[in-house]
Structure 1
Amino acid sequence: MKSNWLVGKTVLITGASSGIGRSLTEILIRTYSCRVIGIGRDEQKMINLKTSLGHLSDRFDYHLFDVSDQANWIDFSETISHDQTSIDILINNAGVMSRLTSIEHAGDFASEQVRSIMATDFLGAVDAIARLLPVIRQSSTPAIINMSSAAAFAPMPGTAAYSAAKAALKAYSEALASETRKRIYVSAICPGFVRTDLFRGQDEGLKDKRLRHFWMDSDRMARKIVKQMKRRKRQIFPGAQAKFIYILVNLFGIHALDFFSFILRKAKVQLFSDVFD
């Protein structure tokens, strides 16, 4: 398939109002003339995004709802069916880690908090796929892109629930890719640390300046993701950091995870301060 298969497609992106989701929206609209349907909960952020697109704003529409609620996906699928809206590409990007000001021990998480993270980061994507698959199948270039994480294969201290949700999404994506290989392009994206709302304000806690080079801004991350999407890669590890983590884990297994914990401890990242005794 030609490398410009993304041009002119209709793309649905969850978590489109900020971070990687917003960056992907802007790139796909500005560079590939896509139409993007954004899903999110913050209307002001959606309005700001639409305004920032200027004369291209008519290529962006949005719907406001919580992706973790299955009923919302049922209602949305009925809406697009009634409106005869086509979708070529689904990008499940919405995700949460913890609403706390710091990361906690795995045993400190309340079950409700774990369920909330799983509902957004994993089950929300599953519900989106289940409800939108009939529409996506009608496209000449159907694609499902799931935003997993390097945490799926290299869980960091204090991110037990988040890592579990992303690991589930990665495994789900790989199984779905095998099942639909000749009919639908399915990919799992596994980025490393990204400068988004989750880690904003943590730079001062990075005492080791070398560690700062591993953090990537969302615009740069999105460009790398789209580049690999054009090549229809089934697994995407955007950036040197994600590739480095993947290689170390494959070579050294659990010892690599111990090494990452050591780095975080020495770097004195404030967000992780409560994890280490």
Structure 2
Amino acid sequence: MSEIESKVVIITGASSGLGEATARRLAASGAKLMLAARREDRLKDLVAAIEKTGGTVAYRVTDVADRAQVQALAEATLETYGRIDVLVNNAALMPLSPLDQIKVDEWDQMIDVNIKGVLYGIAAVLPTMRQQKSGHVINLSSIAGHKVVPGAAVYCATKYAVRAISEGLRLESNGEIRSTIISPGAMATEGLLRQSNREIRSTNISPDAVATELTSTITDGDTTSGVNQFYSLAMDADAIARAIAYAIEQPADVDVNEIMIRPSRQEF
């Protein structure tokens, strides 16, 4: 039996691209899915397609920038399936532009979705995973979270943040947390706060160019031209879905922490 079979998986940004490809692949492996996105028509179509092939799936319209909606998503998953095994934090925006274009509203959107959305997802599922003594959070970062490129400073910053959050979750879930306590009039003391739950896994996946709708959020004309040229070598979204499935299907004592994926034709 596959390690994926019967696992309850939440996927954000599931209405297209990486989220849709991941939903289709995990459903085919027997996962029980809760799909989340803002576009209900797309979610309904995807649910119908998965159910037609015998998959187990439900959905909830969710804006990951709204903490209450993300919390409601986790609660709906528990009501539907009774547990949460995996969260795939996939929802993201990429409205690239040079900093001197001063597109502050777009910066705010990226911070709200790409960073806060990831944190809200973790906040919504972590108490359940702690109680279960098992769980897996998969965050979608980017090669842009490893390398800053002109015209993408804010987007890169959000994806660097996702990597940091992923690593922090790994450290807090798979080792001892120590705290330095400084009291007035006393020397600093270091003590073991707690032995963390070693059964919660953290995976950070960093794709580069993937054929999705992500580039459609770019409003700067010059940036769009350059990005479209680069994306001519883009990978199919299922390449990332396979990586997500690989991380999930490992035995409970194996934690795949970091996967970087580039098109084979890419030089940098």
Q: Which of the five TM-score ranges fits, normalised by the shorter chain?
A: 0.7 to 0.9
Report the CA distance between 1:157 and its aligned residue.
2.0
> What do residues 127-169 of structure 1 show as CA deviations (whole Å, max 9, x unaligned)?
1111221122344641000011110011222112211111101
The 1:43–1:203 alpha-carbon spacing in structure 2 relative to 1, beyond 3 Å, is: farther
Aligned to 1:193: 209
The 1:244–1:143 alpha-carbon spacing in structure 2 relative to 1, beyond 3 Å, is: farther
The 1:159–1:27 alpha-carbon spacing in structure 2 relative to 1, beyond 3 Å, is: same
In the aligned structure 2, how far is the partner of 1:50 from the partner of 1:81? 18
Task: From 228, 244, 256, give the equivalent of 1:225.
Answer: 244
The 1:143–1:204 alpha-carbon spacing in structure 2 relative to 1, beyond 3 Å, is: closer
Q: Which runs of 5+ in 1 are unaligned?
A: 246-277
The 1:33–1:121 alpha-carbon spacing in structure 2 relative to 1, beyond 3 Å, is: same
Aligned to 1:38: 35
State the one-letter code of the partner of 2:9. V
In the aligned structure 2, how far is the partner of 1:148 from the partner of 1:199? 15
Contact preservation (8 Å) 1:237, 1:243: no
Sequence identity (%): 27
TM-score, structure 1 as length reference: 0.75
Aligned to 2:116: 123
The DSSP-based 3-state class of the residue aligned with 1:91 is strand
State the one-letter code of the partner of 1:177. R
Q: Which runs of 5+ in 2 are unaligned?
A: 175-197, 217-223
> What do residues 89-139 of structure 1 show as CA deviations (whole Å, max 9, x unaligned)?
0110000011xxxx4212323333211111101111101111221122344
1:95 aligns with 2:118: no
In the aligned structure 1, how far is the partner of 2:134 from the partner of 2:161? 26
Matches within 5 A, 1:140-159: 141-159=134-152
The DSSP-based 3-state class of the residue aligned with 1:185 is strand
> What do residues 206-257 of structure 1 show as CA deviations (whole Å, max 9, x unaligned)?
3x8xx844x2011223123322443441001134559974xxxxxxxxxxxx
Report the CA distance between 1:83 and its aligned residue.
5.9
More strand by share: 2
Report the CA distance between 1:51 and its aligned residue.
2.0
Aligned to 1:177: 170
More helix by share: 1
Aligned to 1:7: 5
The 1:65–1:54 alpha-carbon spacing in structure 2 relative to 1, beyond 3 Å, is: closer
Task: From 19, 22, 25, give the equivalent of 2:20.
Answer: 22
In the aligned structure 2, how far is the partner of 1:242 from the partner of 1:87? 38
Report the CA distance between 1:52 and its aligned residue.
1.8
The DSSP-based 3-state class of the residue aligned with 1:53 is helix
In the aligned structure 2, how far is the partner of 1:84 from the partner of 1:228? 22
The DSSP-based 3-state class of the residue aligned with 1:175 is helix
In the aligned structure 1, how far is the partner of 2:64 from the partner of 2:242? 25
The alignment's C-alpha RMSD in Å is 2.8
How many residues align? The count is: 234
Report the CA distance between 1:54 and its aligned residue.
4.3
The 1:83–1:199 alpha-carbon spacing in structure 2 relative to 1, beyond 3 Å, is: closer
State the one-letter code of the partner of 2:19. G
In the aligned structure 1, how far is the partner of 2:135 from the partner of 2:34? 16
TM-score, structure 2 as length reference: 0.77
